[in-house]
Chain A
Amino acid sequence: MITLNINGETHDLELDPATPLLWVIREQIGLIGTKFGCGIAQCGVCTVHLDGTPIRSCVTPVRAAEGRKITTIEGIRSEGGLHPVQQAWIDEQVPQCGYCQSGQVMSAVALLEANPAPTDADIDAAMSGNICRCGTYPRIRKGIKRAALAMKDAAKGEETANG
């Protein structure tokens, strides 16, 4: 028996502890937003957060995720609706085929949580593990910058409200 905490919910599962987390999320839990792309941590479409850190779920055995907080694309909405990164992705019309975008969004969210004002070099470093065959990179870059501004404005608004 393995107990997983995914998007705040607890799941008790009977499975081979060597199974990659990706397949557990997709097949056992039924969350389809996390994708399979390469199986060797080369493309990033399977990106989820483990205690807030982006990881490649296709090579992460499920036992390594036990007792930790797993967040998937379905778990990043805030109470008010879309995460600012998701909203920025809509505003910039980032996705094309869309298959890689869950992973892109998860990498971008992790970047902005660690670094609220990333430079182009920071974006390159954080996002180069995520391949997009449709070539949405320029829009992803714009989307991250737009989301960073939105999050900064929201934080300011909160400060004002609290102050």
Chain B
Amino acid sequence: MGKWTRRAFVSAGVIAGGAVVFGIAIRPGNRADKVRGMIATDDESVFNVWVKLSPDNTVTAIIPHAEMGQGVHTTLAMMLADEMDADWDKVKMLEAPANKEYANYALAKGFAAGDVDFPAFLVDTVDGFFLTVMKAMNMQITGGSMSVPTTGQIGMRVAGAATRAVLLEAAADTWNVPASELRASKGQIIHERSSRSAPFADFAVKAAELPLPAKPRLKTPDEYTIMGTDVQRFDVPAKVDGSAAFGIDASLPGMKYASVMASPVFGTAVRSVDDSSIQDMPGIRRVVNLGDAVAVVADGYWQARKALDRLEIEFERNGSEAIEQSDIFSQFATDMDAATAAGNEISDFAQGDAMSALASAGQVVEAEYRVPYLSHAPMEPMNCTAWMHDGICELWTGTQNPLGFAAEVADALELDIEDVVLHNAYLGGGFGRRAFPDYTIQAAKIAAEVPYPVKLIWSREEDMRHDHYRQASISRFRAALDSDGNPTAWVNQYVEKHDPKEAPYIPYAIDNQYIHYAESKTHVPWGFWRSVDHSLHAFFTESFIDELAFAAGKDPYQYRHDLLEDAPRFRDVLDLAAEKANWDSPLPDNWGRGIAIHKSFGTIVAQVVEVEIVDGKVIPRRAICAVDAGFAMHPDGMRAQMESGIVYGLTAALYSDISIRRGAVAQGNFDDYPMLRMNESPDIETYIINSGEKVGGAGEPGTPAIAPALVNAIFDATGKRIRELPVRLHDLSDINLESKDVA
């Protein structure tokens, strides 16, 4: 290895025989000056990019991921601390600054080494250009449920173990004993034979001189002391007393406030702004025309907002203002038909000869499903505080992609990337939305026009009407059943593919399969929405398998179970959910029970939902969730993420519908884009399987299966098969609950 230069800093010492090691000792005086700023005093040593050891033996885990409620700051620190044998009571965390030195290169390196599946959705950056592996080195993205499986498994753990190894070596040298006679426990190094023990910190300086091992031995699960336990999350105390600072809470001397309105019809520009109507309003500082949006800057947010409402803005027309939601679904159907007619079907997956099997089948089952566009609607509306000063652009916001945001702002303002400084705060909900930098670029452009810091806050309406939406889609199925009702062919065509590729795949043993899609672009901006394509495909596939069970005259749980004979991991999860739900137990009148299973981001989740139909309204009463993520690093955090994914998915399935009217989003706030609330929230039970398989994610896998489990439960209760979401579009008030006819 050569000398550390700032540029070499991120890559040097990283790869050794395909493994990943962050063997970089940074000490005061290191040329990586942005990192040096994180060293509080001259006595501290930074062992590598993920761990800092202070003289008082405090271990600070430096986490290259954003905290948006998923507990990642805590879980990643647990993984590092456990491998290091640190004293958990003296472990803290620090979110890495948005500097390239802290890029999430565990992910990129893991990819390069073949250790992890690189989530395909990350191949596209926010503006769609291709990320090479080298560019991926510059990532610090939080998404794809990958913080624990990638950064945690091949970053934090290796860093912790390597750091422990050099500390032991330094202690062995100091005490002149073989390293093999030493052990580490709770931040102490212990030599039993001489009854000596001393804190890690005593050996920090010496250890920092040693090369970190390329492949330190990692603990096996029976050796874990912190991983797998329910420690309390770092971020909770500040979130119960109002002191937690989110992006919207940034405060700077002399700061002004901005409210913004972009063209309601996506992709159209501002034609004219008439500000004569706001001339006499108090506190107004500036009107900024951003080209596709207009912002008002004022002394207070309320003043800016009122003035914006009064401003007369005309937007250009580009034809999109004629588009209605029904046009979009018609376009999808037409493009699907056209793809088949023209032989342009794009194959996702094919095995056997599904078309022949269908043609010769005794029984064919067909169904078509639809899902709407969805908005993320995090509780904290998009916002960013920006300040242009001394040739730099300083930003305060909450983002899932701090480096990407800084790069986008640099690009938009024609600044050097080094001159954009981004301070990431807690995210008041992310769900994929805060991977898109539009609001940050707006704030930076406004700030470029004024000499003071500006806090841009989107109204809820702006947030809902200028989201990056989960795609609307249509999915069509045909399946062949043999004389026993078992499927022999599965043909699925859908529209609008994003990521991950495997989202429409099924775990069931069906010999002949053909899964394909058609492209059908619309003017509606697309975005990652919690679990991305899994959120729609689980609804499609797990609804249809339920329909096959019904057509076969079989119990929907047993039908799945039988088709999972060759997929024992799936079957175990399914069986556990059914068992905990007492699947065969009777339910009261007007109740129904449904089941679904889906794998996403390496984690298998099966859910059972029990619903009650009250005056035609569907009320989810109970949700039972079984999850196998390989190993749950933080079981209570895993349960919390399952609860969260369930409520998020239930909200969408029951209520959420973003529809296009005259080219723009018709909905604007929680009155017309309603949310599941306390009185509708079911009891949720989560059961964890630690199968020991490769570790998967937690933030997203709780969402996909809940929508099909819900509609399957509604079918069980009412006999009505809901094939288009959301559920509230359907009138269930006249269902004859006795007959359970198939709708």
Contacts and interface: CB of A to CB of B under 8 A. Distances in A.
B687 to A, nearest CB: 15
Contacts of A19: 300, 302
B346 to A, nearest CB: 34
Nearest to A77: B241
A106 to B, nearest CB: 9
B648 A133 contact: yes
Contact of A33 (B237, B243, B669, B683): B243
B251 A32 contact: yes
A95 interface: yes
Contacts of B681: 135, 137-138
A89 B684 CA distance: 18
B240 A89 contact: yes
A95 B235 CA distance: 9
A65 interface: no
A74 interface: yes
Given A32-B245, A35-B248, A128-B679, A133 B426 contact: no
B301 interface: yes
Given A90-B232, A141-B678, A99 B379 contact: yes
Nearest to B305: A39
Contacts of A100: 379
Interface in A80-106: 82, 86, 89-90, 93-102, 105
B241 A135 contact: no
B70 interface: yes
B246 A99 contact: yes
Nearest to B251: A30
Interface residues of A, number: 57
Interface in A10-34: 15-16, 19-20, 23, 27, 30-34
Interface residues of B, number: 61
A98 B678 CA distance: 16
B643 A101 contact: no
Contacts of B240: 82, 86, 89-90, 94-95, 101, 105
Nearest to A98: B239
A6 interface: no
A131 interface: yes
B321 interface: no
B377 A133 contact: yes
A131 B245 CA distance: 19
A134 B644 contact: yes
Nearest to A73: B242
A44 B416 CA distance: 41
B139 interface: no
A140 B678 contact: yes
Given A42-B669, A124-B679, A139-B643, A31 B242 contact: yes
Interface stretch (B29-37, B323-331, B427-435, B562-570): B427-435
A97 B378 contact: yes
Given A86-B241, A133-B429, A96 B678 contact: no
13 contacts: A23-B301, A35-B246, A39-B669, A98-B428, A125-B679, A130-B677, A132-B647, A133-B377, A133-B651, A135-B643, A135-B646, A136-B643, A138-B643
The 3 closest A-B pairs by CB, nearest first: A33-B242, A135-B647, A96-B69
Given A131-B379, A139-B640, A139-B643, 11 more contacts: A33-B241, A37-B460, A40-B460, A40-B669, A42-B670, A96-B68, A96-B640, A97-B427, A97-B429, A97-B430, A101-B239
